[in-house]
Amino acid sequence: MSAVPRASRGIRVSFEFFPPKTAEMEQSLWEAIARLAPLQPNFVSVTYGAGGSTRERTHATVRRILAETMLTPAAHLTCVAATRAEIDAVIAGYAEAGVRHIVALRGDPPAGAGERYVPHPSGYRNAADLVAGIKRHGDLEVSVSAYPEKHPDSPSVEADIDMLKAKVDAGASRAITQFFFENGLYLRYLDRVRARGINIPIVPGILPVQNFKTTKNFAARCGASVPDWLAERFDGLDDDAATRKLIAAAVAAEQVLNLVDHGVTDFHFYTMNRADLVYAICHLLGLRPSQQKTSAQVHVEKERA
């Protein structure tokens, strides 16, 4: 297994960030954006909290990306705990700001994952309904989620694929998967999706393990499995951050290069607002930075001066 230059494989990447809560987190976010922007990602997405809890911070982050970088932002949007009119106003606000790409998600209930989802009586029923609502606003690109191990609320993988089909029929043009650590899960899921006649890109979501305990808890809430071999690789490293980082880079690199060997060309990275591991993996994929500095880089350099 070997890294193959980007040009010969047509590798494309996208990066996911979350809106910062504090000034320190904001600095970390923009350092990550400045570091990753020269890799010229296909797009970058900004998450949207449960029940729209980060709405204003999401908008502010997206607006700044549009103003200070050459990146193409994709704004997340959920339909939890909001009326159609409220959601439609958010869509219109995104469009007015210059956003042409929305990641449409049902979203978790305001109380968090694990609680029963109940549609707002005057809102969009689910993600497929939301996609249709977004498409009524004009020629907006819509990405949606996909779940190789099924969404925690779905009774089966087949039911989950039914929902994906409904989202595609409503106008979605790309699906981004929940993160996974066993590539076989993704490849088998892809076979089942294609067998259902779903032909949009199913982009694997990759989560470099910044902190194993945090990742394990996150996976439990999302319904993603954590294999024993992964736990063994991080065993005994709770107090050894430097070695954890090396192991994390090796694990993620092994995963993405194996997917490249299986013909995968598009990857979506859950960055957790940190650039180091993601940048290293992208380098192995053959991506090289543009020599032109972005406004975000200049801004970060001024702050450091």
**For residues 4 and 19, which has the higher predicted lDDT (pLDDT)?**
19
Distance, in Å, from the CA atom of 239 to the CA atom of 275, rounded to the nearest integer, reads 21
Please name the residue ranges forming H helices in 179-240: 183-195, 212-222, 228-234
**For residues 300 and 95, which has the higher predicted lDDT (pLDDT)?**
95
* Domain 6-304: assigned CATH number: 3.20.20.220
96 tagged catalytic: no
pLDDT digits (tens, 9 = 90+) for 130-161: 999 999 998 899 999 999 999 988 899 899 99
> Contact at 8 Å (CB) between 180 and 150?
no
Collapse the DSSP code of 96 into the 3-class scheme (helix H, G, I; strand E, B; otherwise coil) and give the result. helix
Q: What is the DSSP letter of 173?
A: -
The alpha carbons of the chain give a radius of gyration, in whole angstroms, of 19
Residue 36's nearest CA partner among 303, 304, 301, 288 is 288
pLDDT at residue 53 is higher than 80: no
> Contact at 8 Å (CB) between 242 and 276?
no
- Mean pLDDT confidence for 282-290: 91
Catalytic position from the list 16, 31, 141, 149: 16
pLDDT at residue 8 is higher than 90: no
pLDDT digits (tens, 9 = 90+) for 206-221: 999 988 999 999 898 8
Grade residue 55 by pLDDT with cuts at 50, 70 and 90.
Answer: confident
Q: What residue has token string 């570091």?
A: 35
Residue 77's nearest CA partner among 106, 37, 119 is 106
> Contact at 8 Å (CB) between 19 and 44?
no
